[in-house]
Structure 1
C-alpha cells in the first residue's frame, strides 16, 4: 500500500473523532514494532523522524528504511519530519522521504514564529507537503508552561496557512512529574475557532480517559515517544541482569514490546480498524523520476566534471529535489551522451524546476537548448504485484 497524503489522513481522523498515532523512530526495532502494530490493528499510522534525534542516528541510513517500511505496509502510512527548526530543516526532511513537516517556533516571540512558519508553509505547500506548527510553549518539567491563546491561535493559522496546530493545553514534553492538569475547555475553544486537526505533544503520562477526552475535543494526531522508549529501556535493563546475555539476547523482545504498547494505544485512540476507510479517502503520495538527456559538444573531461558539479549543486538546492544521479552513455552509438536522473518528491517539483531561475540559466549556458524546456520524461513509481 503506498504512502498517503498526510493532510487527507488527519482530516479523516478529525472528521471522525479519532486520532492517528505519530511515533518518532530512532531504530529499526522501533520502526518494525510500530509498523507491525499498525498492521495488526488495521490502523493508519505516522512514522516520525525528529530533528532533535538526528544526533542519535544517521538519517541517510534510517530514512530509506522508514520509507521502505511505509511503502510495503498493508495500512496507510505518512512520514513526518518532527520538530524542525526552519525552512532548511523542512527541506531536509522532504529530501529524506517525509511527506509532512513540522516547524516548531514555540520558543520564539509570536511574530517571529508567524514569519518563520509562513516561510516553511510557502516552501512546503509549493511542493504539496502539509505543515504542522506549534503555538504556546509545551515545556519539559523544568520550564514554565505557556498555554495556547484562542485568539492568538485564530490569527496564527489565518496568517501562516498552517494545516495542523500543536497546542499547549497542560501537557509536558518528556516524563511527566506529578499529575497532568489539562485545560479541556481551552482545547474545545481552540477547536471551535480553528476547525483544523489539532496535535498533542507531551502525551506521555496521560491516562486512556485523558486521551479519549482530548480526542473528542479536536486532537487528531498524538505524538508518542518518551513513554514507549522508557518501556524499552526497562526491558533492556531487565535483560541485562543476565550476565551471560549477548547483544542479540539483550535486545530480544524490544520489537514485541513496542508492538504491544503501540497497538494498545491505537485501540485507545480509535484508529484501530480504520485502515480501509482511510485508504479510500486518501490520495496516494508518490514522487516522480525525471530523465534529462543531452550532449556537451566541445567540452573536455575537466570542464565536463565542473559543469556536472555546478548543475547538481543548483538542483539540490531546489526544495523537493531528493537526488540527482548523473551518468554517461556506455557506447558511442547513443545520440545523447549524458543523462541526469532526478528523483523528485512530487510532480509539483517538476513544475518548479521549469521556473527556477538558477537552473534555467545554467541550462541555457551549458546544456544549450536541449534541457532548457526540461524535455525529459517524468516517471511515476507504480506497484507491480
Structure 2
C-alpha cells in the first residue's frame, strides 16, 4: 500500500501562496514525472503533493508519511512558505493553476470548477493481483467509503467562512463530472468500457480525469481510493491506510469465496457520502448494514468489525484500535479547526495550530 497526500502552501500569515514550482526547483525536486517517493506539484500553484513508496508494513508506511511531510516543508522553507495539511484554506484565496498545458486546458474547459479547485486530498493505493481482482474490489467497497471519508474530514472552512460541513472539500470535488461513487461493473471489460465511454463524450480530457471514488490506478497495479480529505494528523493518514487495505483485502476474499457483490445503487452511495461530508464524526452516518442513520461511532465500529480478519492477518488491529482512540479524543481535523476558531475567532490562528499538528 502507498499514500499520496496534498498540502497547502501558505505564507507567514497563513494565506495560500503560489510558490509550488519555485519550491520544487529550489529544493531540487522538480521532476514532473512524479511517482512513488516523489515530491511534485498538484493542479494549483498553492499546493505540493507527496507520495510514499509501497509498503507492506504499517510502521514503515507511517514513518514515510511523516518523512514526506518533512520533505514538503523543507521545499516550502526555501521559498519562505510552509506546507500544512488542511483540505481547504480557512482564509479566502484566489487560486493559481500550475502552468502545465494539460492543467491550463482543464482551466479553460471547466471554468470555475477548475479555478476554485484549491482542495487537498489523500489517496490510498492498495496492490491487487490484476484488473479482475481490482474490479471485484471496487464493486464491493463502495458502501464503506463514506465512513472512511468521515474519519478524514478536515475542511470546515471555505473562503473565510464556516461552511457547516465537516468536509467542504468533498462538495467542491464533486463538481467534476466524473467524480463520485460508481455502479457495479462486474468485469474488467465492463469497467474499461465505462472509462472509454466517458472519455468518448469529449467532456473530460482523458482517462486520468475519470475521478471515481475508487478506481484502477492509471499508473500502478493498484486500487486507488480517493474520497479522503488530507488528514490533519499524520497518524490519521496511517489509520486510514490500514482501514483501506483492510477493505481491499476483505473484498478480494469475498470475491474469491464467490460472494456476489451488492448492488445498492449509486443514489444511495452518493447520499451516504454527502451525509459523511456534512457531519463527519460529529453526527450520524449511514450504516452500510442497514442503510439507516446511526451514530458515527457505531458505524466506524461496524467498519472495523467488517475488516477485522484482514487487520488481524496483517497485525494491524491493535494499531488501528489505538489510533482510533486518539482520533475520537480529538474529534478529528474538522472538529479541531472549529475548536481553535471558537477559542480565538482567528482564521490565521487555525493555520498556525494546524502546522504544528501536520508535522507532529
Q: TM-score, normalised by structure 2?
A: 0.28
Give the greater-gyration-radius structure (CA). Answer: 1
Q: TM-score, normalised by structure 1?
A: 0.27
